Amino acid sequence: MKFTKALSACVFSLLFAVASSQSDSDFKTSGISPELTIKANAVVRYEKQTIEINDFDDMYVTTKRVVTVLNEYGDQHTNAFEGYDNNTKIKKMEAKIYNEFGKEIKKFKIRDFTDQSAVSGGTLYSDNRVKYLSYTPVKYPYTIEYSSEVQMKSTAFVPQWRPIDGYYVSVQYSEYELVNNSGIEIKTKTENFDNYNIEKLSDTHLKAKNLKGIKYEAYNPGISNIVPIFKTALTTFNMEGVKGINNSWEDFGKWMYNDLISGTGQIPQSVIDNVRSLTSGVTDNIEKAKIIYEFMQDKTRYISVQVGIGGWKPMNASEVDKLGYSDCKGLTNYTKALLEAVGVPSYYTVVWGDNDIKDIDSDFSVTEGNHVILCVPTNEENIFLECTSQTAPFGFTAGFTDDRDVLLVTPEGGKIVHTKVYDSEESLQITTAEINLIKDGSFDANVSVKTTGYQYAIHEDIISKSLRDQKLYYKEYWDNVNNLEIMSIDINNNRDEVILTENVKLRATNYTSKSGNRLIIMPNIFNRVRSIPPRYDSRNLDFRIQRGYKDVDEFIINLPEGVKVEAMTEGEKIESKFGVYEYKIEKLSNTKLKYSRSWTMNKGNYEKEDYNAFRDFRKRIVKLDKTKIVLKID
Amino acid sequence: MKNIITLTIFVSFVTFSVAQDFKFGKVSKQELQEKAHPIDASADAAVLYKKEHITFNYVQGEGFVQNREIHERIKIYNKEGYDWATEKVYLYQGSSGASKEKIIGIKGYTYNLVNGKVEKTKLKKDGIFDEELNEFMDISTITMPNVQDGCIIEYTYDIKSPFSSIDDIYFQYEIPINQLDIKVATPQYAQYNKLANLRASYQPKLSKRKVERKVVFTDRQRSEFYTTNTKFSQSTETYFDNVIEISETNIPSLKEEAYVGSMENYVSKMSFEMVATLNDFGAIEKSFSSNWEKVSKNIYDSDAFGGQLNRNNFFKDDIASLLQGVEVPFEKAFVLQSFVKSKVKWNGSYGFYSQKGIKDAYKEGSGNIGDINLLLISMLKSQGVNANPVLVSTKNNGIPLYPTRRGFNYVICMVEDQGKYVLIDASERYSLFNVLPRRVLNWQGRLIKEDGSSSWVPLMPSQQAVESNSLNIKIEDDFTVSGKVRQMMTGNLALNLKKKYLGLSQDDKVKSLESDKGAIVISETELEDKENGDFIISYDYELSDAVDEIGGKLYFKPLLFMGEKENPFKLDERAYPIDFLIPFKNKFKVNIMLPSGYEVEAIPQSEAIEYKSGAVKYTFVAKQNGSFIQLSTEFDLKSPIIDSADYKVFKEFYSKIVEKQMEQIVLKKV
C-alpha cells in the first residue's frame, strides 16, 4: 500500500532549543569504546545541557556538546544550530573541529555560523530564523565541540532531554540539569527509561552513560516509543508575553481557550446571515455542520503563515473571511466561528498530524502538537474536521489525524479524547474485473476498484490528476502488467458516503508468457503484492502495524476458443495473528474461470520474536499472488 | 562659483500598446465563467496574460537602472491550481549593501463571480511578506486573497535593479499561457546577445525595432557670491533603445517526462548577456563577450579563475614528496587528483570561479567546484603537466544557449599528453579519468588554454560503460534455488554503484541488495573497488519463490530476480528525447543446473532484436548442454539519446526485451 496523498500539513513553529557542547574529555577518536561504534554513525562523547529557570518568562539554556562523527551519515547529529526570534537571543555560539587524533583543525565564532530564515518548504512566511554551522568535513572521523548559550523569554517550550536523538547514534555521556530559581513548580515525566543506563541525581538532574546506538528496523513502533525521554514543563509559563498556567491539560486548555482563541471568532454579520440562510430549515446539527464545512472548503485555501504567539495563536476569523486563506489554526478557528453562527458547538483541537500515528500525551500536559483540527461533538461520537483540505469528505480523518489522542480546547478547559479508528472492515478495497483473454496472450478488461476508509485516503489522490497523469498512474499501479493501454477512465467520488469508485477499461498485449503451445497466465492481474518486508538476521525492535485494512478481489477470466486449462491449483488459505489471506480459482465453465482473493491485515503491536512469522506470512502472500494457470492451445 | 547639477530627469516613454482586454483591473465575465481551459482541459490553471517588460532608464549618478515590469493574470480552474495564487520573487542583494534589487508598486486583485457579478478583492499589505533568505537573496512573497475555484488573480509589480544582467525570460510554464507580451528594451550603449532555447518544442516569434528615447537634464547653476541666485537650464539628450518584442498566443504547458535528463534543457526561454558597451557612434568601448572564444578568455582573465592557476607556493612541499619518481604526465595527474580528493572536500556549491581562492580552500580542506578543480590544474601546471580547465554547464543548468558567461556553471580539468587527453573532476570521490559524475555529462565543455585559445570537448564518455553479470542457478529438490551472482561494472555504471554501496554498513549492503528481489537471502557479499576503477559485487543467494510447480512441471524465468520486470516507458507519446546519459552495454551469462529427475520441455528461443538498424541491439541466446542450460544476453546502447520522434518504435523495442526476459523455462519429469 502506497501513501501518496499529501494532506496539507500545518506545522507549528516549535522553537528549537537543542544542544551542543564542550567537554573536558579527550577529543581523540581512539577514546571511544568499541561497543559504541557499532550501529553508530556518530557518538555523543559528552553532552551537558543546563536550563536555568529564573522566572516564568526568563529561561537560560547552556549547551555543551562534543560529538565524534564517524561517517557522512553522522553529520546530522552534530546539532550545531540554534533557532531564534524576537523572544529568543543567542548569547554565545561557538564550535571547534578536531581531527581523529584530537588536534584542533578549525574554529567557528558566532559570526561564522550561517544565518537563515527558518522557512521550511511548505511555509509561506515565518518570522523564525536559524543560525547553523555549515562545515564541510575534510575527513572522517572528526570531532566537533559545540557550545551555546541562549536566553529565552518564552518558557512554553522547555528543552526535553533525549540523549539518543535518532537512529545510529550512541552516547558516551549525556547530562541534563534543570535549575529552578523561580519558585514555580516544575512538572517532569520520564519515558522509556528501562534498560538504559541512566542515573537520577535529583528530580531534574539526570545523567546517562554508554547508551548504544539503535539500528533502524522496518515497522518499528516509532523512535519516540523506544528512546529515553525526560519531559519538563513549568506550571506557570510565558508564551511570547502571554502568561499561562499548566498544572494539567484542563488548565492548559483553559489557558489556550482564554488567551489564544477567545475573541478571535468574530465574523461579519453578512457572513452570519449568509450561513444562516444556507442552513435554514435544517435542524440536525450534523447536517448543518456538513453544509458549513463545505461552504468553508469552497471559500478558503490553506497557506502556512507562521506568525503570532510562537505560531500558536490563530488568525482572527474576520481576517480569514476577508483573505480567504490561512493556516490550520486560522481555518479551524474560522470554521468554528461559522458553526457557532448557526448554533453548532465545536472545539478547537490540537493534534500530532502525520501518517504515522502519534498521541498527545494524556498524562503530561505540555506545549505539544503540530496541527489543529475541529471537533464537532455529537451524541454518538465526536466528528473531526480537517479544515486545511478543500477536498476531504466531511468528518474524514484517515491517514493524517485518525486513531490518536488529541487535545480538545473547550471553555471549561482541555480534554484528551481519541479520534476515529478506521478498522480493517472499514478500510476496504474491492477490486472486480472481467477479463477477455485472447489467443495471442493479450487481453482486454473492465476493472473496478472501490475504496473506503484508509484505503480511500490512499486512492483519493487520483481524482485531481489530469487524464495524462491518471493514465500514467494506472500503468504504475498495475506495473505487473506490461504493455498496458488505458482505454477509458471513469471515477466516481461519493463524498457523502466516502466511497471512491474507479472504473477503468484497459487492454494489454503479451500478458501471458508463452512456452511452446502453452500459455502461462497469472490470474491475479489487478492486485498483486510484490514486496516482502526486509529480512533481519536478528530483530532488535518490536514492531507495529499501524492500521488494519482489507482487500477483496474477484476476477472473471473468459478464455478464448480453442484454449483450455491444462493445470491449475484450486486455492489456499493462510491464517496468522497478523491477518488472513485466501485465494480460490474456480472453473465456472470450460471457457470461464473465477479467481477470488481476500486479504485482511490486522492492526497491532507485536513483539520482535514475531517478526519472522509476520515476514513469512507476507512472503507466502507474495508467492501465492504469483500463482499461475497453464493453458493449452489446441 | 559652483555648478551643481541636480538629479532631476524627465524621461519620455514611448509606450507599447497593450491589447485592451488585459488592462489591469478589468476582467470580463466570460473569463470568469470559463470552467476549463479550451485547449488543454487538464490544466488546473492558465496564464491568461503574461507581460514582462524590461527597460533601462538613465539616472544620473547611478547610470542605467533596469526596470522589470511584471503583469500576470491567471485563471484558476480548480483547487489543484491554488498554488498559482502565490508568487515568490527573488531579489538579488549584490555583494555590498548598496546595490540591490528592489520590488515596488505591488498591486493585485482577485476576481470572483458572485451572483453573476464580478467581485474584486484587493491585495493588501498583509498578503505581502518580505524576508531575508540569506546574505545574497531576499524573497518577496505575494499571496492573493479570496481565491476560489474559477477565480482570476491578477498582479503587477516592478523590480528595480542596478545590475546590467538580465534574468532569463521564461516563455513557458507548467500551465498554458494564452497571451504572452514580452518586451526587452536595451539602450544603444549596451549590446546584449540573446538566444532562445532551440531544444524547446515551442519557439516564439520575435520582432525587433529601434525606439527613440529622450533624456531631459535639468542643470541648475547657482552663484553664491553676494546673493543666492539660481538659474535653471535644460538640455535634452536623444538616444535609441533596441527593442525586442514577442506577442504570442496559446503557448502549451511544459509537461514533465521521465528519463529526460533535465527538463531545464527543454523549457522555452531566452537568455541575455551584455557583451559590450558602445560609444555614441556605436563603436565598442568595452567588450565583454560575444563569442565562445571571448567568453572563455574573459573568464580566464578573471582573478578568480586564471588568476588562481599560477598560485603554487603553498602546496609545493606537500606534493614534491608524493611525486618522487613519478615521471609520466598521466601518472602525475592520477597521483595529484587522488591527493586533491583526499585533501579538499566539495562543499556542494557549483561555479567555475574559485569561491575562496585555491589557497584558502587548500588550507581549510573544503571548497566549491572552482576551488577544487582549479587547485588540481594549478598543481599539475606547477609540475609541467599540460593541464587546462574545461568550462561546463551541468545537467540542471541546461545546455548553454549562447556564448555567455552565465551559460557555464562548473569547471573540470583536462590533461593532454602525446595527442591523448583525459578529463578529471576531483570533486567526486569515485570519479576516474574520463568517468565524470552525472551532473557533468551535459553534451560538451569548453577547453580554455593559457594563451586564450579555446575549443569544444565532448563530455560524454566515448567508451561504453559495461555491466557484466554472471548468474549460477541450482534448483534444489524442494524447488528452492541457490547459486552465485557476480556483477562487474566499468565506467559510469561502476561510479553509480560505488556511490550507492561503498560507505554502507555490511548490514545495509545486504539489505539494499536483497530489496526488490523477492524471497531472497543473500550471504558472502563482497564488494571490490578495483584499482582500474572497475567495481565488482558478488554474493551467494538462496531464493524460495522462483520456481512454480504446476501439474508436475517446473516453470521459472531464467534471469530470476535480475533483468527487467517492467517497461519503464509508459507514456503513449513523448515531446522530448529519452536521455540514458551514457552509452552502455548490459550483459548476462546464466548457467542453470537441472534438478535430477527433470528434463527440458521448453526453453525460450534465441533471438536478436534491433532498434533502428542496430543503433540499439538486444541479443538473447539460450541452449541446452547436457544437464545444463546456458544463456547469454546483451543489451547494447551506442548513443544515449533517443529522439522523441522515434519514441513509439523504441518503446515497442524495449517492451520486446522485457517480454523476452519474462519468458519461462519449462522442465518436466524424466
Q: Which domains does chain A have, with CATH numbers?
A: 29-242 (2.60.40.3140), 248-418 (3.10.620.30), 428-633 (2.60.120.1130)
Ranges A206-220, A278-292, A295-309, A372-386: which has the least confidence: A295-309
- Contact of B662 with chain A, judged by CB distance below 8 Å, is answered with yes
- Apex CA A252: angle with CA A246 and CA A255, to 5°? 110
Query: Which residues touch B86 (CB under 8 Å, ≥6 apart)?
Result: A124, A303, B141, B142, B143, B144
For residue A481, give how far its alpha carbon lies from the nearest alpha carbon of chain B (Å). Answer: 8
Q: What is the pLDDT of residue A52?
A: 97
Beta carbons of A126 and A12 less than 8 angstroms apart: no
Task: Please compute Rg for chain A using Cα positions.
Answer: 29
**Domains in chain B: boundaries:** 2-285, 292-458, 465-669
Decide which of B224 and A211 is more confident.
Answer: A211
Contact A467 B42 (CB under 8 A): yes
Q: Which of B578, B661, B669 is nearest to B616 (CA)?
A: B578
Chosen for mutation from B548, B564, B565, B650 (greatest number of chain A CBs closer than 10 Å) is B548
Kindly state the average pLDDT of the residues B259-283. 83
Ranges A345-354, A561-570, B477-486, B544-553: which has the least confidence: B544-553
Chosen for mutation from B147, B174, B559 (greatest number of chain A CBs closer than 10 Å) is B147
pLDDT surpassing 60 at residue A21: no
pLDDT surpassing 50 at residue A82: yes
Q: What is the pLDDT of residue A265?
A: 94
Range B292-458: architecture per CATH: Roll (3.10)
pLDDT surpassing 60 at residue B223: no
Contact A516 B601 (CB under 8 A): yes
Q: Which of A374, A373, A387 is nearest to A301 (CA)?
A: A387
Kindly state the average pLDDT of the residues B441-467. 89
Q: What is the pLDDT of residue A119?
A: 57
Q: Which of A528, A476, A1 is nearest to B566 (CA)?
A: A476
pLDDT surpassing 70 at residue B459: yes
d(CA B207, CA B214): 22
* Interval B602-622: pLDDT, tens: 999 999 999 988 889 999 999
Reported as a pLDDT band with limits 50, 70 and 90, residue B13 is: very low
Q: What is the pLDDT of residue B230?
A: 58
Contact A136 B348 (CB under 8 A): yes
d(CA B356, CA B370): 9
User: What residues of chain A, 147 to 206, have a C-beta less than 8 Å from chain B?
Assistant: none
Q: What is the pLDDT of residue B263?
A: 83
- Apex CA B65: angle with CA B61 and CA B68, to 5°? 165
Contact A566 B551 (CB under 8 A): yes
Contact A516 B602 (CB under 8 A): yes
pLDDT surpassing 60 at residue A68: yes
Q: Which residue of A has its CA nearest to B114?
A: A299
Kindly state the average pLDDT of the residues B536-550. 92
Ranges A299-308, A458-467, B478-487: which has the least confidence: A299-308
**A468: amino acid identity, one letter:** R
Grid coordinates representing B7 are 538629479
Reported as a pLDDT band with limits 50, 70 and 90, residue B653 is: very high
Q: What is the pLDDT of residue B282?
A: 77
* Interval B81-96: pLDDT, tens: 888 998 889 888 866 5
d(CA B189, CA B212): 13
* Interval B307-341: pLDDT, tens: 899 888 899 999 998 999 899 999 999 999 999 99
In A240-279, which ranges are continuous DSSP H helix? Answer: 249-255, 269-278
Q: Which residue of A has its CA nearest to B653?
A: A483
CATH class of the region B465-669:
mainly beta
pLDDT surpassing 70 at residue B385: yes
Q: What percent of chain A has pLDDT over 70?
A: 93
CATH class of the region B2-285:
mainly beta
Highest mean pLDDT (candidates A504-513, A548-557, B439-448): A548-557
Reported as a pLDDT band with limits 50, 70 and 90, residue B14 is: very low
Kindly state the average pLDDT of the residues B158-178. 91
Contact A480 B566 (CB under 8 A): yes
Backbone angles phi, psi at B499, to 5 degrees: -65, -35
Decide which of A603 and B99 is more confident.
Answer: A603
Kindly state the average pLDDT of the residues B203-230. 72
Kindly state the average pLDDT of the residues A288-296. 97
- Contact of A487 with chain B, judged by CB distance below 8 Å, is answered with no
Kindly state the average pLDDT of the residues A141-163. 94
Tell me the ipTM for this assembly: 0.74
Q: What is the pLDDT of residue B541?
A: 96
For residue A199, give how far its alpha carbon lies from the nearest alpha carbon of chain B (Å). Answer: 32
User: What residues of chain A, 35 to 54, have a C-beta less than 8 Å from chain B?
Assistant: none
Beta carbons of B528 and B545 less than 8 angstroms apart: no
Q: What percent of chain A has pLDDT over 90?
A: 78
d(CA A192, CA A227): 6
Kindly state the average pLDDT of the residues A112-116. 86
Q: Specify the pTM.
A: 0.82
d(CA A546, CA B581): 41
- Apex CA B351: angle with CA B348 and CA B353, to 5°? 125
Residue indicated by cell numbers 502538537: A369
Q: What is the pLDDT of residue B98?
A: 64
The distance from CA B20 to its chain's CA centroid, rounded to whole angstroms, is 38
Q: What is the pLDDT of residue B298?
A: 81
pLDDT surpassing 80 at residue A124: no
Q: Which of A253, A198, A268 is nearest to A230 (CA)?
A: A198
pLDDT surpassing 50 at residue B224: no
Reported as a pLDDT band with limits 50, 70 and 90, residue A313 is: confident
Reported as a pLDDT band with limits 50, 70 and 90, residue A385 is: very high
- Contact of A532 with chain B, judged by CB distance below 8 Å, is answered with yes
Contact A513 B662 (CB under 8 A): yes
- Contact of B121 with chain A, judged by CB distance below 8 Å, is answered with yes
Option in A72, A138, A622 nearest B366 (CB): A138
Beta carbons of B180 and B133 less than 8 angstroms apart: no
The distance from CA B204 to its chain's CA centroid, rounded to whole angstroms, is 22
What secondary structure does DSSP assign to A411-463, as a single string? TTEEEEEEPPP--TTTSEEEEEEEEEE-TTS-EEEEEEEEE-HHHHHHHGGGG
pLDDT, averaged across chain B: 87
* Interval B585-597: pLDDT, tens: 999 999 999 999 9
Beta carbons of A67 and A44 less than 8 angstroms apart: yes
Grid coordinates representing A421 are 479508528
Q: Residue A600 is inside which H or E element, if any?
A: strand A592-601
Q: Are strands A123-126 and A304-306 parallel, antiparallel or unpaired?
A: parallel
pLDDT, averaged across chain A: 90
Option in A303, A475, A520 nearest B664 (CB): A520
Q: Which of B273, B201, B266, B269 is nearest to B52 (CA)?
A: B269
User: What residues of chain A, 569 to 598, have a C-beta less than 8 Å from chain B?
Assistant: 569
Q: Are strands A114-117 and A129-132 parallel, antiparallel or unpaired?
A: antiparallel
Count the neighbouring beta carbons within 10 Å of the beta carbon of residue B114: 10
pLDDT surpassing 60 at residue A174: yes
Q: What is the pLDDT of residue A12?
A: 40
Query: Which residues touch B237 (CB under 8 Å, ≥6 apart)?
Result: B214, B215, B216, B217
pLDDT surpassing 60 at residue B222: no
Residue indicated by cell numbers 494506472: A474
Contact B134 A115 (CB under 8 A): yes
Q: What percent of chain B has pLDDT over 70?
A: 92
Q: What is the pLDDT of residue B6?
A: 34
- Contact of B514 with chain A, judged by CB distance below 8 Å, is answered with yes
Ranges A181-185, B130-134, B220-224: which has the least confidence: B220-224
Chosen for mutation from B256, B343, B360, B566 (greatest number of chain A CBs closer than 10 Å) is B566
Q: Which residue of B has its CA nearest to A535?
A: B511
Grid coordinates representing B597 are 529427475
d(CA B86, CA A122): 12
Reported as a pLDDT band with limits 50, 70 and 90, residue A308 is: low
